[in-house]
Structure 1
Amino acid sequence: MAKSSDLKRPMTLMVISNDPERIHMALMMGATASAMGRPVTFFFSKSATPFLTAGGWDSLKTQAGATGPEMDAALEEKGVADSSILMDGLAALDARFLVCEAALREHDIDVTSLIARPAVEIAGLAEIIEKGQGGDWLTF
């Protein structure tokens, strides 16, 4: 069993894959940790960056070829929280969402196309290295 001091350590989730299954797992991990009282920061970069744009989830496909919304529908049918429920929960739990400034340029993403809820901050690696010090790191 985790010590109570372990539950307050920050958790940084680096999301770099555009696979909806990996993104969904990162959201589930972050929601669980945040609900347990841990400060959670998501850092989206590389091919995961479009997820944080309006309509970005619709364009992503699983390895089996299902779109993000198709995967969500299948999850919802089975009683599993889909991406929109998880994002709403993470916004309510004050999880931080950061997007890599370099990845925005890499993927020609205009900042005005970023989602509004949860709020997305533009940052670089130095930000997450500093804020995530002493915590747990996972990459998806």
Structure 2
Amino acid sequence: MAKAVPKHPMTLLVISPLADRIHMALMMGATAAAVGRPVTFFFSKGAIRFLVQDGWAGLVTTEGTPAPDVDAVQEAKGIADSSLLMEALPSLNVRFVACETALREHDIDVASLITRPAVEISGLADVLEKGSGGDWLTF
């Protein structure tokens, strides 16, 4: 029996606080994980606010549309919205990492972060090491 070829990791650097960019990162990560790739989301800069409880509700798209309004439109059209993606991601074994520096930069208390998926607190060195040899995308 042939051995399975290991899949290259995918690291998604999510730095924009814009809802459409974050949604695309969630879709890309969910798809990659669904086909067996190890996926790490690294949230930093303004995107760190997404990881705060109800953080999505305060975000807007590039055009200024509130994130919850985007979800309503996507759900009506049968497109995976942010809440559906966030429900699915834990079962796909993705890794969510909050940048320790970004938490300090934006005065975010770790206790205010979402708990599902679980969020690790780490930095670039860890993410660089674990993403070595894989693909990197920035949102």
TM superposition score normalised by structure 2: 0.95
Which residue identity lines up with residue 92 of structure 2 in the other structure? Answer: L
User: 4+ runs of 1 displaced by more than 2 Å?
Assistant: none
Residue 20 of structure 2 is matched in structure 1 by 21
How large is the RMSD of aligned CA atoms in angstroms? 1.0
Residue 110 of structure 1 is matched in structure 2 by 109
Once residues 62 and 33 of structure 2 are traced to their aligned partners in structure 1, the CA distance between those partners, rounded to angstroms, is 28
Once residues 29 and 67 of structure 1 are traced to their aligned partners in structure 2, the CA distance between those partners, rounded to angstroms, is 21
Once residues 118 and 112 of structure 1 are traced to their aligned partners in structure 2, the CA distance between those partners, rounded to angstroms, is 14
Determine helix, strand or coil for the equivalent of 1:8: coil
5+ long unaligned stretches in structure 2: none
Determine helix, strand or coil for the equivalent of 1:138: strand
| Residue pairs, 1:55-66, within 5 angstroms | 55-66=54-65
Residue 49 of structure 1 is matched in structure 2 by 48
Residue 88 of structure 2 is matched in structure 1 by 89
Give the C-alpha shift of residue 10 in structure 1. Answer: 0.3
Which residue identity lines up with residue 17 of structure 1 in the other structure? Answer: S
Determine helix, strand or coil for the equivalent of 1:12: strand
Residue 134 of structure 2 is matched in structure 1 by 135
Give the C-alpha shift of residue 87 in structure 1. Answer: 1.0
Residue 121 of structure 2 is matched in structure 1 by 122
TM superposition score normalised by structure 1: 0.94
Once residues 64 and 134 of structure 1 are traced to their aligned partners in structure 2, the CA distance between those partners, rounded to angstroms, is 35
Mapped pair 1:74 → 2:35: no
Count residues in correspondence: 136
Give the C-alpha shift of residue 54 in structure 1. Answer: 0.3
Give the C-alpha shift of residue 66 in structure 1. Answer: 1.2
5+ long unaligned stretches in structure 1: none
Once residues 95 and 106 of structure 2 are traced to their aligned partners in structure 1, the CA distance between those partners, rounded to angstroms, is 21
Which residue identity lines up with residue 83 of structure 1 in the other structure? Answer: S
Give the C-alpha shift of residue 63 in structure 1. Answer: 2.1
